[in-house]
C-alpha cells in the first residue's frame, strides 16, 4: 500500500497528466487541439488504416481511394511528428478471425510498423492479443508493448501472469473508480518497472454483458461492409445496450458506468503515467481534450464521454456542474452494490438538465 503521506500528496497533485488523443482522419480540429495543448498531449493513438478494431475499422481497403487515404494519413503523421508528438499504435481488435495468429497477420504488422516509424516515433503498441504481443516482443525487444483496456485487467494477479509480454497496462475500464485496486496495481507496476494508464471517459455500462458480442461485431465490421450488395442492405451499427438505455428507468445505469469526471481526475492522476482520452470516433474531440486537460467541464457530461452510441439520443443531459461534492468519494468506495443502493438514482434527478 502507498503510505499516508503519498495519499495526501496525491490530493494536492496539480501536475498535468500526460494525455493521448485519438487520431481522426479528415478532422481539421485534431491538429488545432494538438497545437493548443502541446506539451500535455504527448501522443496520438490510432489503429492501422483498414485493420479491424473493436471500434470498427477506418479507411476500408480497396482501389485508388485506399492509396490516397493512406498517403493522407502519412502526411498527417509527418505533421504531427513536427509538433513533437509521438504515436501509440493500437492493434486491439477483439477478434482477428482465422488470422488471429497467422504469419500473414504478423508480417502485415511488422511492415506497417516499419513504415509508420519512418514518419513518426512509435512510443508503444497496445494490444489485447497474446499472439500479437509475443510476436512483437520477438520482433523488437525494445518496443514498448502495452495491454489494452479491452483486456479488462483490474487486479495485480492479472498483471503478474502477463508481465512477460507487456511493459505497461491500461487499467480495465471497470476499475477506474476502484481506488484500493488502483493503489495495489500502481505499487506492483513500480516494483516491476511497468507503466500504468487510464481511459477516464469510457461510457460503456459497468461490466456490460453486451461488450464481447458488440466488440466482435465491430471487429468484423469491415468484412460486413465490403460484402454489402448496395445501399439497400445497410449495416446495423446499433449497440445492443441502446434498447436498454432507451427506457427511462435505466438512465441511472449511465451514472453507474466506468468514467471519471474531469474534476475528479485529481484524485487518481498520481497513480497513472498517462490518460488516454476516448476520442477515436467522438465528434466532440475538442471539448473532450479541453475538459480533461484543464480538469473542468461546465456542460453536459455525456458530451465528453466516448461512446459507441454517440449517434443516438439515448443519453440524457447530465449537468456536470450539479454533481454533489461527495460524488467521487461515494462512487469510488461503493463496491458497485447497485441493487441495494439508490444513490445514482438520486443524483440523476439532481443533475438532469
Cell numbers for 307:
461512446
The pLDDT tens digits for 193-204 are: 999 999 999 888
Q: Classify residue 90 by its DSSP letter.
A: E
Band (pLDDT 50/70/90 cuts) for residue 250 is confident
Q: Smallest Cα–Cα separation from 273: which of 198, 187, 332, 201? A: 198
Complete domains list, the chain, with CATH? 4-351 (3.20.20)
Band (pLDDT 50/70/90 cuts) for residue 285 is very high
Band (pLDDT 50/70/90 cuts) for residue 64 is low
Whether the predicted pLDDT of 237 surpasses 70: no
* Mean pLDDT value of segment 96-110: 86
Question: Could you tell me where the DSSP H helices lie in the chain?
Answer: 4-11, 29-36, 63-82, 103-117, 130-139, 156-160, 179-191, 211-219, 221-226, 241-245, 252-255, 285-294, 327-331, 343-351
Q: CB neighbours (10 Å) of residue 325?
A: 7
Which CA distances in Å does 292 have to 21, 174, 206, 253, 344?
A: 11, 19, 21, 23, 23
Band (pLDDT 50/70/90 cuts) for residue 276 is very high
* Mean pLDDT value of segment 112-127: 96
pLDDT score at 2: 46
pLDDT score at 209: 80
How would you classify the pairing of strands 86-91 and 19-22?
unpaired
pLDDT score at 129: 92
* Mean pLDDT value of segment 249-276: 93
Q: Highest mean pLDDT range out of 35-44, 61-70, 315-324?
A: 35-44
- Using CA atoms, how far apart are residues 202 and 168, in angstroms rounded to an integer? 19
More confident residue, 178 or 185: 185
Q: What is the mean pLDDT of the chain?
A: 86
Whether the predicted pLDDT of 33 surpasses 70: yes
pLDDT score at 173: 83
More confident residue, 55 or 92: 92
The pLDDT tens digits for 132-168 are: 999 999 988 899 999 999 899 999 999 999 999 999 9
**Is the CB of residue 166 less than 8 Å from the CB of residue 242?**
no
Band (pLDDT 50/70/90 cuts) for residue 228 is low
Whether the predicted pLDDT of 1 surpasses 50: no
> Bridge partners of 91?
127
Whether the predicted pLDDT of 20 surpasses 50: yes
More confident residue, 180 or 274: 274
pTM of the model: 0.88
For the chain, what is the largest distance between any 2 Cα atoms, rounded to a whole number of angstroms? 63
Band (pLDDT 50/70/90 cuts) for residue 240 is confident
Amino acid at each position: 500500500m502507498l503510505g499516508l503521506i503519498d495519499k495526501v500528496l496525491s490530493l494536492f497533485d496539480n501536475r498535468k497528466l500526460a494525455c493521448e488523443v485519438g487520431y481522426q482522419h479528415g478532422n481539421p480540429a485534431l491538429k488545432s487541439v494538438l497545437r493548443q495543448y502541446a506539451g500535455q498531449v504527448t501522443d496520438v493513438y490510432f489503429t492501422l488504416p483498414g485493420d479491424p478494431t473493436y471500434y470498427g475499422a477506418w479507411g476500408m481497403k480497396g482501389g485508388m481511394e485506399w492509396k490516397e487515404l493512406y498517403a493522407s494519413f502519412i502526411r498527417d503523421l509527418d505533421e504531427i511528428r513536427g509538433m513533437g508528438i509521438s504515436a501509440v499504435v493500437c492493434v486491439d481488435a477483439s477478434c482477428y478471425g482465422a488470422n488471429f495468429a497467422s504469419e500473414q497477420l504478423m508480417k502485415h504488422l511488422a511492415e506497417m510498423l516499419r513504415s509508420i516509424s519512418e514518419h513518426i516515433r512509435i512510443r508503444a503498441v497496445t494490444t489485447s492479443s497474446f499472439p500479437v504481443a509475443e510476436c512483437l516482443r520477438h520482433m523488437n525487444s525494445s518496443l514498448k508493448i502495452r495491454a489494452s483496456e479491452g483486456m479488462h485487467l483490474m487486479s495485480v494477479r492479472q498483471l503478474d501472469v502477463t508481465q512477460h509480454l507487456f511493459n505497461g497496462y491500461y487499467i480495465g475500464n471497470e476499475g477506474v473508480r476502484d481506488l484500493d485496486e488502483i493503489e495495489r496495481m500502481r505499487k506492483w507496476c513500480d516494483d516491476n518497472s511497468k507503466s500504468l494508464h487510464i481511459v477516464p471517459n469510457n461510457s460503456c455500462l459497468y461490466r456490460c454483458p453486451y461488450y464481447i458480442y458488440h466488440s466482435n461485431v465491430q471487429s468484423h465490421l469491415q468484412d460486413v461492409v465490403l460484402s454489402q450488395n448496395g445501399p439497400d442492405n445497410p449495416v446495423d451499427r446499433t449497440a445492443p445496450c441502446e434498447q436498454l438505455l432507451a427506457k427511462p428507468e435505466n438512465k441511472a445505469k449511465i451514472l453507474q458506468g466506468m468514467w471519471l469526471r474531469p474534476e475528479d481526475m485529481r484524485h487518481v492522476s498520481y497513480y497513472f503515467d498517462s490518460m488516454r482520452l476516448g476520442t477515436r470516433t467522438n465528434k466532440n474531440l475538442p471539448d473532450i481534450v479541453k475538459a480533461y486537460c484543464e480538469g473542468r467541464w461546465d456542460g453536459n457530461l455525456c458530451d465528453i464521454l466516448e461512446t459507441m452510441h454517440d449517434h443516438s439520443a439515448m443519453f440524457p443531459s447530465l449537468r456536470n456542474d450539479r454533481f454533489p461534492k461527495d460524488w467521487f468519494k461515494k462512487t469510488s468506495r461503493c463496491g458497485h452494490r447497485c441493487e441495494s443502493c439508490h444513490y445514482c438514482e438520486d443524483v440523476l434527478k439532481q443533475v438532469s438538465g
